[in-house]
Amino acid sequence: MADDIHKILIIGGGAAGLELATCLGQQLGKPRLAEVTLLDAASTHIWKPLLHEVASGTLAEAEEIEYLSQAYRNHFRFLLGKMEGLDRATQKVIISPIINKKGVELIPRRTFQYDTLVIAVGSVSNTFGIKGVDQYCRFIDTTKEAFRFQKQLVETYYLESYAHQSSQRDKPLSIVIVGAGATGVELSAELREVTKLLATYGLEGSIQVNITIIEAATQLLPALPPRLSTATQEQLVKLGINLKLGRRVTEVTESAVYTHDGEVFDADLKVWAAGIKAPDWMKNLDGLETNHINQLIVDQTLKTSDDNIFAIGDCAACAWTGHTGNVPPRAQAAHQQASTLAKTIINRLNNKPAIPFVYHDYGSLVSLGKFSTVGSLMGSLMGTVSVGGFIAYVVYLSLYKMHQIAIHGYFRTSMLTLSNLFRRSTHAKIKMH
């Protein structure tokens, strides 16, 4: 491509970043109207709301998308790396060196020029500075972390199963999840199913597994109406999941979780899902304004204080028009922001005005695996409607299908859906390695 062609750099290949890169690659990259580049620290993409299935080992490997393949098919470039700094004066992004497990530098520190920069790096868990969380808890913010937890889950189950059979231990395996938002609740239900499957595949005998959710608030799932929160709570209790609400975690050790009221919970495995923030390196991004959880503050066109820099997804703080507070960090918000910003960037190249972003809340849904799906659907005609069971499950799946259609198109999404149906009929329901 010519040196004077407009360079669009997108940092982060999550739901927002990958959808934006795919759209701009098709509309600007293919006719060579712009050079579209996506930068991510991982080589593959998995839709973030599915990470709890990765962590439990129940997600099919076919759900992963190779960035290089996606870039080739959709006329954008993919760069492997992590942003570590920004020089707004020269319009350059600083990319960290890539070092392998042996400490060998594979690719040195680089800089990349941009004309339009989009930051879509998502979010990470907020530990609130609580002692021991970083050291002893597992997180499922990224695919790598989710796979790491899944591997530890299987290994721990094998060790505990052997210990029980040899009478070396008679205590149940304890899993503690801190945080009762969608991630914590969905993971707990998925793990309940997984513990049954682990006893089925390749293991002689089974062990008792205790799953506990600890939450500082007095209600599960604050994004849902109280009635649905109560219904979810009842379902989790039926599954045998221990709910400890209104308890604030004060410390985590190698073997236990401590709460403010003095209670101690034994924990062989600990997962932290108690809040999010943007990555810490965004605090001092060459003068760009951020809020208390490191999110870049953007206006209604998703633009930061720099006319050439935009932010979308969980790392952006965008005021929610007509409501108090910002647009919530949800997959549907990322999808809508990517669609709006794509139009704005195309307009930008044609000297046309930016498109204001208007968030439409279509409701919230929480899947409890095969056990249940609950949520609320919202619309201008029907108001707020509570849904559950099969209808809620179908709508929950449709959110993921919308993401797949945005990056694959209708035909390829249909083929992938059929392929996964056949795979599920011949493969084990859980990954054992």
Burial class (CB in 10 A: 0-12, 13-18, 19+), 426: exposed
Q: pLDDT by residue (tens digit) across 367-416?
A: 666 555 555 544 443 344 455 555 555 666 666 777 778 777 777 767 76
Q: Residue 129 above 90 pLDDT?
A: yes
Q: Which residues contact 238 (CB under 8 A, 6 or more apart)?
A: none
Beta strands (DSSP E) in 69-219 are 77-80, 83-87, 92-95, 98-99, 105-107, 110-113, 116-119, 124-125, 173-178, 209-215
Least confident among 128-132, 291-295, 322-326: 322-326
Question: What strands, in cross-sheet order, belong to the sheet with 383-388?
Answer: 363-367, 373-379, 383-388
Tokens representing 255 are: 């073997």
- Give the pLDDT of residue 7: 98
Q: Hey, how many other C-beta atoms are within 10 angstroms of the C-beta on 355? A: 18
Q: Which residues contact 392 (CB under 8 A, 6 or more apart)?
A: 365, 373, 374, 375
- pLDDT grade for 324, boundaries at 50, 70 and 90: confident
High-pLDDT (> 90) share of the chain, %: 52
Residues in the chain, total: 433
Beta strands (DSSP E) in 273-408 are 276-277, 296-298, 309-311, 316-318, 363-367, 373-379, 383-388
- Give the pLDDT of residue 332: 85
Cα–Cα distance for residue pair 153/151, rounded to 1 Å: 5
Average confidence (pLDDT) over 191-213 = 72
Average confidence (pLDDT) over 71-82 = 95
Cα–Cα distance for residue pair 115/307, rounded to 1 Å: 10
Cα–Cα distance for residue pair 221/223, rounded to 1 Å: 5
Q: Which residues contact 257 (CB under 8 A, 6 or more apart)?
A: 176, 178, 214, 249, 251, 264, 265, 267, 270
Q: pLDDT by residue (tens digit) across 352-373?
A: 999 999 998 876 666 666 555 5
- pLDDT grade for 156, boundaries at 50, 70 and 90: confident
Element (H, E) at 394: helix 389-408
Mean pLDDT score of the chain: 84
Q: pLDDT by residue (tens digit) across 33-67?
A: 999 999 999 999 887 877 877 777 766 554 788 99
List, in order of start, the domains of the chain with CATH numbers.
6-123+278-349 (3.50.50.60), 133-275 (3.50.50.60), 363-426 (no CATH)
- Give the pLDDT of residue 423: 52
Q: pLDDT by residue (tens digit) across 204-227?
A: 456 788 999 999 999 888 767 787
Which residue type, as a one-letter code, is found at position 62? A
| Angle formed at CA 216 by CA 211 and CA 220, multiple of 5 degrees | 65
Which residue type, as a one-letter code, is found at position 66? E
Give the HSE-up count for residue 143: Cα atoms under 13 Å, Cβ half-sphere: 16
Which residue type, as a one-letter code, is found at position 118? V
Element (H, E) at 44: strand 44-45
